[in-house]
Amino acid sequence: MTDLNLLYDAILNGKLEQSVEVTNQAVAEGIEPQEIINGYMIKAMEEIGLRFQNGEAFVPNLLMAARAMKGSLDILRPLMKGANSVSMGKVVIGTVKGDLHDIGKNLVASMLEGCGFEVINLGVDISSEKFIEAAKEHKADIICMSALLTTTMNYMKEVIDALEAAGVRKDVKVMIGGAPVTDAFAQQIGADGYSENANGAVALARKLVAE
Amino acid sequence: MNSRERVIKAINHQEADRVPYDLSGTTVTGICKGAFLNAMKERGLSTDYEKEVDPISQIVTPVEETLVALKSDTRRLGARRVINYEQIRTKEGSVWSLVDHWDCLWKLDETKDLYYNQFTHPLEQYDSITEGLKHWSVPKWSNYVEQMRADIAEQAPALGDYCGIADRNCAGLTEMSLRIRGYEKWYMDIFMDPAGVEQLLEDVTQHKLDYWASLFDWIEEQGLQDKIQVVSECDDLGTQKSTLISPDDLRKMVIPRFKRIWEYTKKRMPHIKNFMHTCGAVRPILPDLIEAGLDIYNPVQFTAHDMDLKGLKRDFGKDLVFWGGGIDTQSTLCKGTPEEVSDEVKRILDIMAPGGGFVFAPVHNVQDDVSAANFWAMWDTLMEYGKY
């Protein structure tokens, strides 16, 4: 019988090979993907996120954990086709137009994915049209926008205004983040929430989809 | 009291006649082109600027008459960050492109970008740094010494009675590693290819030591040692919340290499002070940097975690000169009102000025979204309330 605590350890310590090996064993033994994800993978990602938030883990640790988590998820995802219950919600995420910085955004994307969200990562330099198109196409619950620069963060308001103009603002929650972004700025531009770190972003996303 | 005397007092933890002001003395205490043009026009000062030292971040060095009018107490001496910028850049439509001497491709689209963005990393296609270094190597600084000598010969006359800053030729040890390898890959290489990480850091360290040797050789040949007070290095080691990689990894891989650089600079020029820029929440490693030979810390990003100015001045003010931290550049300077800018400068001067050990500069370069009114609110307040 596979000890799934080894999967938890593998993800927490960023060990891809171990994560893949344990996942394969668990699948071979007929353990439900949902049980593996909820019982171990999400918990490991929550723990690494918490350590990151508390300054006990750093960017390399988070990237390695995400890598191990994705290795496991790649095995499980094909086995879950059609099971709607697996997704906590759909998130479209991107760095806004004019801004090419993506590490922070990718960490948020990985944390959301690792914690059970379906994530559509649009990349960097994303226009309002692209955000809206992707949100419509994937019937997203949340749009996450990131900006590193004081000079590009204002574009977030343009995206929100464009969502209003397109008549879809009410269908989707908007979360924002990035170094110069603040809670006050989020309120000022009419976003639904702001998080200063990847762990907080997961908590916020859970709250927003529950509303 | 001239500018050099003023800064010498400050960096020796004494009060001068006023708090010294640094504009354009380094590539992290400068001003971006658009903000510069707006601010100078407003008060009828010359909008001319020198050859761009760091075109990647689009900062400009005002011409001498403007620096004099702005009462900047510093002058920069050092290689241009992009060598032969005017010759190597090309334009297609609205997009400027250049491949720098590190084989990194940068692009700036005039219609939307305020900075050059990096598009390629010379080691990104390899499985590991170790593998990549078999095919690519850090550029030899000796290939660029002649160009540097021509450039600094143009800069040197401005040293005059100002605090001369011998400034770095490239980004920091981890920053250069990230640019060469690609960001996410390098961070993961710390676990997956630690030997490669160390080798690349070592190669960049050697490149930097070669640069400093060539710069000090020229300074000695010209007999300009007394005109240089500060040697400026950098890295970006922190986020808003913590260090980017763990303090232990920094202590093991990065700080000892800075120690070697700082020992070398002090050996060649014993009277200088070692300056380092690193953004972010880096309080846990400040004692290590001091131990390694750091004298002057910039930019003092006081909005980052555990970086409040009172605490830093209290705990490190005896050992470190704070150069920067004069006003927040992520919020107040670009988004505040002139009154808010003025209030923040006053508040910070009250904390940082007593006893010296403080040179005024904003937390980072004045960015393009800073209005002329806010630039002048900062400057006027400094000149009025910065007097001892």
pLDDT tens track for A113-136 = 988 899 999 999 999 999 999 999
Query: Does the beta-carbon distance from A58 to B114 stay under 8 Å?
Result: no
What are the respective helix, strand and coil percentages of chain A, to the nearest 5?
Answer: 60, 15, 30
A87-210 homologous superfamily: Cobalamin-binding domain (3.40.50.280)
Distance from CA of B12 to the nearest CA of A (A): 34
The Cα–Cα gap between A153 and A159 comes to 11
Q: Is residue A83 over pLDDT 60? A: no
The ranges assigned to domains in chain A are: 5-82, 87-210
The ranges assigned to domains in chain B are: 3-85+126-385
| ipTM of the shown complex | 0.91
Q: 3-class DSSP state for residue A34?
A: helix
A124 CB within 8 Å of a chain B CB: no
> Which of these, B382, B336, B334, lies nearest to B359 by C-alpha position?
B382
The Cα–Cα gap between A110 and B231 comes to 41
Question: What confidence score (pLDDT) does residue A198 get?
Answer: 86
Which chain B residues have a beta carbon less than 8 Å from that of A53? 241
Q: 3-class DSSP state for residue A90?
A: strand
Question: What confidence score (pLDDT) does residue B366 get?
Answer: 96
CATH 3.20.20.210 corresponds to the domain B3-85+126-385: yes
Q: For each successive 10 residues of chain B (388 residues), what is the average pLDDT?
A: 98 98 97 96 96 90 96 97 93 97 96 91 98 98 97 96 98 98 96 98 98 98 98 95 96 98 98 97 97 98 96 98 97 96 98 98 96 98 97
Please tell me the CATH code under which domain A5-82 is placed. 1.10.1240.10
Which chain B residues have a beta carbon less than 8 Å from that of A61? 246
The CB density around residue B2, as the number of other CB atoms within 10 Å, is: 12
Q: Which positions ≥6 away from B19 have C-beta within 8 Å?
A: B10, B349, B352, B353, B358, B359, B360, B382, B386, B388
Query: Does the beta-carbon distance from B244 to A55 stay under 8 Å?
Result: no
Which chain B residues have a beta carbon less than 8 Å from that of A103? 183-184
Q: Which positions ≥6 away from A182 have C-beta within 8 Å?
A: A194, B331
Distance from CA of A181 to the nearest CA of B (A): 9
Q: Classify residue B135 by burial, with Cβ atoms within 10 Å: 0-12, 13-18, 19+.
A: exposed
- From B189, which residue of chain A is nearest by alpha-carbon distance? A60
Nearest to B330 among A55, A103, A179 (CB): A179
Mean of the per-residue pLDDT values of chain A: 92
Q: Which two three-digit tokens encode residue B212? A: 């400093």
DSSP A197: S
Q: Which two three-digit tokens encode residue B334? A: 């670009």
Question: What confidence score (pLDDT) does residue B7 get?
Answer: 98
Looking at residue A165, its amino acid is A
The CB density around residue B14, as the number of other CB atoms within 10 Å, is: 12
pLDDT tens track for A168-197 = 999 999 999 998 899 999 999 999 999 988
> Which of these, B81, B217, B98, B78, lies nearest to B150 by C-alpha position?
B78
Which chain A residues have a beta carbon less than 8 Å from that of B335? 150
B373, B374, B379, B380 alpha-carbon torsion, rounded to 10° = 60
Question: What confidence score (pLDDT) does residue B146 get?
Answer: 97
